[in-house]
Amino acid sequence: HLTPAILYELWSIWKANPRVPSVASRRAWAVSRNARLKHVDSWFLRRKSCAKRMGESFIEGPYELPLE
């Protein structure tokens, strides 16, 4: 599972830029935080699905996550 610190960071990233990062970017981000890629992938895909269901706006197309 994802730690509270990582979840907080993911929510901050989503609020600043509501879209799903590229697979390579998610992989590098997960490795840099010692998180499992499967959990990071699932988090973004669930967030996108929830945004669609709730009628929230989000941006289509991947982008690169900052690693710092």
What does the pLDDT read at residue 7? 97
- Domain count across the chain: 1
| 23-28 mean pLDDT | 95
**Domain around 10:** 4-54
DSSP assignment of 37-67: HHHHHHHHHHHHHHHHHHT-----S------
Note whether residue 29 is domain-resident. yes
Residue 2 has pLDDT above 80, yes or no: yes
Note whether residue 61 is domain-resident. no
3-class state of residue 34 by DSSP: coil
Residue 68 has pLDDT above 80, yes or no: no
Structure token digits, residue 61 = 């197309």
Residue 13: CATH number of its domain: 1.10.10
Q: Is 55 exposed, middle or buried (0-12, 13-18, 19+ CB in 10 A)?
A: exposed
